[in-house]
Amino acid sequence: MVVETIGEAFTLGWRVTVRCSYGRSDSPSSKSSRECNYRNELDMETLVWTRGKAFPLSRLESRLRCPRCGSRNVVVLFQPPRSAAAG
């Protein structure tokens, strides 16, 4: 089964974590490391409320912005519930 929308992920009880990866790309010119490693778990239900259940998971990453540094360079991690896999 392929989960493609946040509505499906919400129904299945998935959890979503977003991690900011701003400043990860090492550029030799800038010596000051302004990295941001902020990460937090998002509320899947709120995402469905705001985006609609038909919103594709693949587009979520490009819609999010880090609340700490404002960067769009974020990584979204989806975690299916353990109970579904282990039984």
**Residue numbers of the site for Zn ion (CB under 5 A)?**
20, 22, 36, 38, 66, 68-69, 71
Find the shortest distance in angstroms from Cβ 70 to Zn ion: 7
Q: How many whole angstroms separate alpha carbon 6 and alpha carbon 53?
A: 5
Both tokens of residue 65?
A: 């912005």
Both tokens of residue 27?
A: 């550029």
Find the shortest distance in angstroms from Cβ 71 to Zn ion: 5
Measured from the CB atom, the residue of 20 and 47 that comes closer to Zn ion is: 20
Q: How many whole angstroms separate alpha carbon 12 and alpha carbon 42?
A: 15
Find the shortest distance in angstroms from Cβ 20 to Zn ion: 3
